[in-house]
A and B are shown apart, each in its own frame.
Chain A
Amino acid sequence: MAQTMSTTELAEKIINYEETTILDVRNTEEFDDWKIEGGNVEIINEPYFNLLDGVESIGDKLDKDKEIIVVCAKGGSSEMIADLLEEAGFTNVYSLEGGMKAWSEHLEPVKIADLKDGGELYQFVRLGKGCLSYFVESNGEAAVIDPARMIDVYIRFAEEKGVQIKHVLDTHLHADHISGGRKLAEETAGSYYLPPKDATEVTFNYQPLQEGNDIMVGNTQVSVQPVYSPGHTIGSTSFIIDDAYLLTGDILFVKSIGRPDLAGFAEDWVGDLRETLYSRYKDLSKELIALPAHYTFAEELGKGGQVSARLGDLYEKNTGLQVENENDFRKMVTENLPPQPNDYQAIRETNMGKINPEHEKQKEMETGPNRCAVEG
């Protein structure tokens, strides 16, 4: 029997840029749509059903003594193929436990910084989907920003740190993944904050995020200053933490910018997006470290797992910030957009509280890449 590898072990390998060889045995269409990326990953695809009669076809492509991690949709086929590889003489084969389904749910905590007054800032990297959430802790209290659906991870993390989650914030109404915000706030008896302009249709109570109303985490000066930054959604809000970290939500990414079309108002919101990126953010300190809610390209994942960039550097390098002509900009963010995320309408309705799909259905709705960005 081949050994299994957990998603945590795989995540560590990827963020540490260890040499990682993956054999993905899902069918090629699924593989092309969405696969494991980042770090130092070498990946090949051969559907499991082509290997049932013998693994010779891939024998030439892979070294028999090299570590090979076999991956499928849920972990069943990879186990079978890993066994077949062992029978064929491969010596270092693993099957990824739970497959891409589990990979899609894995959250990897990565420390971003110590804060001025003793607190800490963590980024939770959802490697399987490219979603990023944040955990700020100071003096026994914590705030979680843009939490994923897997809220147990944050609760456990808070317990380990001995801090209490007091505030849960969403930068905007998400369309690519189901927010864990409301549930996490319920479980921890914390407050749930949303931008009021994104919350006009929600069916639950929330605290409105408003510019100028700082949120304090702990007794120290870890202030979360909401900066109204519409464009991706009408209410999108950014936060500045500790005067040093700019949480940009889905407005600005490391190598791309937010897309304005996921609620069907691309034409209306493109002006706001332009205003935010080319004027509002430009007036902020160049020394701020931008921390987005997503990454799209494997190269954006830095060594150690951080996804971040100095704001000043982004104004020099991010192609989405170099478009001088307003019409060219409008064209770029409204035309030739990538396909919309899977089930994005149902995801928005879930995040508004209008529908409440069962757990398995929620997993299914989120499967696949996030596609929230426009490349310049």
Chain B
Amino acid sequence: MSIQANKVLDAKGLACPMPIVKTKKAIKDLEPGHVIEVQATDKGSTADIEAWAESTGHHYLGTVEEEDGLKHYLRKASDVESRGENNHQKVVNLDHLQQKLDGHASVVILDVREPAEFAFGHIPDAINIPLGELSDRMDELNKNEQIYVICRTGNRSDLAAKKLSEEGYDHVTNVVPGMNAWEGTVEEQK
């Protein structure tokens, strides 16, 4: 699968600890919320990157194994996510969304995470418009439809929901907490 990243780091041919040392350096210059692709050939790097991300608060998205090596995806920790307050009026929880889906209601799920996060697992038929692109791509959405906005933890989706309602989208609901707690069906990008 091809996954979009904001930055690509080549750590191929390097043995431990260099893939992590380089990733650590590269992620400093990355914007919060952006995604880095780390290319590596050291098999031990997968477990290390995942454990390192967990200890630093960055978000490990996943690893794609290809013939010529590994591609790890990490998203830099962002302040937005630690904000912890929701301002958009209409909020539902994951169970509510699951019931809607089970009832075959015609709903639009808007996933505002980064494409790489989306690629490693999203609700089937969800539309992906990252928060940062929402202003430019808003016209892809229909103002009259029921739109459920989701992200990883409920904060980016809150910002997106507010932005949409300001622009006259009246049927927008924020789904909380988000994909990190979603236990329903997920689909991976092929």
**Which A residues form the contact surface with B (CB < 8 A)?**
27-30, 47-50, 52, 72-74, 76-77, 80, 364
CB pair A74 B44 closer than 8 Å:
yes
Task: Report whether over half of chain A's contact residues are helix, strand or loop; otherwise say mixed.
Answer: helix
- Sorted from nearest, which 5 A-B pairs have the closest CB atoms? A77-B17, A27-B51, A49-B52, A76-B15, A49-B20
Q: How far is the CA of A242 from the CA of B18 in the complex (A)?
A: 54
Q: How far is the CA of A47 from the CA of B51 in the complex (A)?
A: 9
Q: Interface digits, B41-74 against A, CB 8 Å rule (1 contact, 0 not)?
A: 0011001100110010000000000000000000
State the Cβ distance, B176 to closest chain A Cβ, in Å: 31
CB pair B44 A49 closer than 8 Å:
no
Query: Which of B20, B44, B52 has the most chain A CB atoms inside 10 A of its CB?
Result: B44
**Which B residues form the contact surface with A (CB < 8 A)?**
15-18, 20-21, 24, 43-44, 47-48, 51-52, 55
Task: Knowing that A48-B20, A49-B20 touch, tell me 4 more A-B residue pairs with CB under 8 angstroms.
Answer: A30-B47, A52-B24, A74-B15, A76-B16
Q: How far is the CA of A353 from the CA of B145 in the complex (A)?
A: 64
Set A50, A73, A80: member contacting B44, Cβ < 8 A: A73
Chain A residues with CB below 8 A from B16, complex form:
48, 72-74, 76-77
State the Cβ distance, B28 to closest chain A Cβ, in Å: 11
Query: Which of B17, B51, B52 has the most chain A CB atoms inside 10 A of its CB?
Result: B17
Chain A residues with CB below 8 A from B24, complex form:
49, 52
State the Cβ distance, B24 to closest chain A Cβ, in Å: 6
Offer 13 A-B interface pairs, CB within 8 angstroms, sorted by A.
Answer: A27-B51, A28-B51, A30-B47, A47-B51, A49-B17, A49-B20, A49-B48, A49-B51, A52-B21, A72-B16, A74-B16, A77-B17, A80-B17
Q: Which residue of chain B has the shortest Cβ distance to A47 in the bound complex?
A: B51
Q: Which residue of chain B has the shortest Cβ distance to A29 in the bound complex?
A: B47
State the Cβ distance, B116 to closest chain A Cβ, in Å: 21
State the Cβ distance, A80 to closest chain B Cβ, in Å: 5
State the Cβ distance, B43 to closest chain A Cβ, in Å: 8
Q: How far is the CA of A29 from the CA of B54 in the complex (A)?
A: 13
State the Cβ distance, A287 to closest chain B Cβ, in Å: 48
CB pair B17 A27 closer than 8 Å:
no
Chain A residues with CB below 8 A from B47, complex form:
27, 29-30
Q: Which residue of chain B has the shortest Cβ distance to A72 in the bound complex?
A: B16
Q: How far is the CA of A50 from the CA of B24 in the complex (A)?
A: 11
CB pair B55 A50 closer than 8 Å:
yes
Q: How far is the CA of A52 from the CA of B47 in the complex (A)?
A: 17
Chain A residues with CB below 8 A from B17, complex form:
48-49, 52, 72, 76-77, 80
Q: Which residue of chain B has the shortest Cβ distance to A27 in the bound complex?
A: B51
Q: Which residue of chain A has the shortest Cβ distance to B52 in the bound complex?
A: A49
Chain B residues with CB below 8 A from A49, complex form:
17, 20, 24, 48, 51-52, 55
